[in-house]
A and B are shown apart, each in its own frame.
Chain A
Amino acid sequence: MSSAFSGPILEFRGVSFNYPGEKRIVEDLSFSVGNGEFIGLLGANGSGKSTILKLASGMLHPAAGGITLWDKPLSGYRNKDRAKLLSYFPQHLDVNVPFTVREIVGMGLYPYDIPPQMTVDEALELVGLADKAEVPVTNLSGGERRRVFIAMTLIQGAGLLLLDEPLANLDIKYQIEFLRLLRRLKETKGMSVIMALHDINIALQFGKVMLIKSGSILGAGSPETVLTGVRIEQAFDVAVEIKKSDRGNAYIVHEQW
């Protein structure tokens, strides 16, 4: 895509969605993602985060409104062309077939006739699995499996990553490692990221957050302006306080249970 283009990479304009005959899951949603932006999509269970990401990935189609990718309607892209521009990372990774790590990472090249720059070995190096290339993925731990699929996504080379709760089921160590890896990719490769999450403490560290409730935006912007006690109570239906640690990190304190 031309580097002269300075508009948003992804734009939702008045997007609504519902399954036929069912109630609206996403309601008149408008937002845009700029090049290199890192957005946290925060909301309670069932607030529509996953649906928004699936709409953005082209897997679901809006019932009303429009979505553009690089200023062109998302639905107008050929599947393979779209796959070179955005990749979607689902919440659940359940693979019960013993593909080797190398085989899975290599699948990231499927959209291409001529392979792009990065090789499987380089991608594995980036996620720290270089020594596991020939191991069946079914022999790896949950955290390692997630890194295999991250390597696949890296080699796919799309500039926009849609990540659906990538931190779910990860130890805090891997959560931090994963977020560091994403930051490195943003800095070195200029990737843009939308990440669905429900951990408010992690959202507080993002540059930009969108707070979702019932498929609509409750607030969008920097965490300081969006993630106030009042708004969080609206979104999650629980009373919280936002504190600052000695090191300047914001964190939440909730009611005693």
Chain B
Amino acid sequence: MRSLRYWMFGAVTAAIFCLALFAGPRTINPFEMNGMERDILFSIRLPRVVVALLMGMALGASGAVLQGVLRNPLADPYILGISSGASLAAALGLLSGFYFFGSVSVPLAAFIGATLVSLLVGVFGWKRGGLWPERLLLAGIGLNFLFSAVLMLLMSLSSDEGLRRAVLWMFGDLSMADWTLIPSASVFVVAGLGIALWRSRALNALILGDEFAHSLGFAVQRERLLMFAAMALMTSASVSLGGTIGFIGLLMPHIVRFLLGADSRVLIPASAVAGGAFLCLADLVGRSLMPPLELPSGTVTALIGAPYFLYLLRRKDVLSI
């Protein structure tokens, strides 16, 4: 029964990737491409699909990790203020004329912002030689409000066109995707995913509670720190690639738990794959619905994701809360 589900999961995901590459305002037949179609495929579609894939993977896996670390099924990487911190850093970078690194400047500022906020959340979440879930969550919520407020203040005081663009971009936009950021971002995503998979048994134990995790032979605080670092790496890389795209981190782990079970050894990789597929699909929908107009992917994920999430909430066997 479950192995059939694995196959179906894999088949649906593969179908979405193919669709994202070859469908769209202009359908491409991979077996009969002319020069222009090849250009579209390799310089526009492929980098865009790869960016969507990386971001979706990072967010899906981060959500699975964070829900485990915080022992809270409502956790989402953005709840910790990482996205608003990244947006603020990007906006500040633009306002202060931080173009030193050319087209990479805004993503770099966003990445630095996201990393600094993760550290800050960690500092506030630290007590008695360890990270505590409730403290992390409250610190993240507090910082999230603070950074959002400062960002709103900047926006209302500034008429800078660049700032407006940065803020739009932060709402999740893949239309600027190209190959520039992919190599460095994939290093962070792969590193975070690697750590999360390596420690997935420890995450299972942490979900049972600190006492059981300790009793089963895990160094609780070390494991929590590793998992938090993995989540921060992936989320920061994702925000720098294409801004803030909501719902993937929250939704994917729930869908995967429903289809394939809660064991983190399956949950983390499957949430990553599902997240990648979901964002590819959302992006495909966003650029195909009313061409040449493109809907921001973040809007599409929320428009598809939110109703589905509410549907799941009504099914009592999915959310065990």
Chain A interface residues (CB < 8 Å from chain B): 19-20, 54, 57-59, 79-84, 86-90, 92-100, 103-104, 107-108, 110-111, 136, 138, 149, 152-153, 156
Contacts and interface: CB of A to CB of B under 8 A. Distances in A.
Nearest to B67: A97
A90 B212 contact: yes
Interface residues of B, number: 25
Given A59-B211, A103-B262, A96 B71 contact: yes
A113 B82 CA distance: 38
A137 B215 CA distance: 20
A83 B216 contact: yes
Interface string B17-32: 0000000000000000
Contact of A99 (B211, B219, B263): B263
B321 interface: yes
A88 B263 contact: no
Interface of B: 68, 71, 73, 128, 201, 204-205, 207-212, 214-219, 257, 261-263, 320-321
Nearest to A156: B216
Nearest to B201: A110
A94 B204 CA distance: 14
Contacts, number: 86
Contacts of A54: 211
Nearest to B208: A95
15 contacts: A57-B215, A58-B214, A59-B211, A79-B219, A81-B217, A83-B217, A87-B215, A89-B215, A92-B209, A94-B209, A95-B208, A97-B207, A98-B261, A100-B261, A111-B216
Contacts of B212: 88, 90, 107, 149, 152
Given A58-B214, A89-B215, A98-B262, A107 B208 contact: yes
Given A98-B262, A98-B320, A103-B262, A88 B208 contact: no
Contact of B320 (A86, A96, A100, A107): A96
Contact of B263 (A81, A94, A103, A153): A103
A111 B216 CA distance: 6
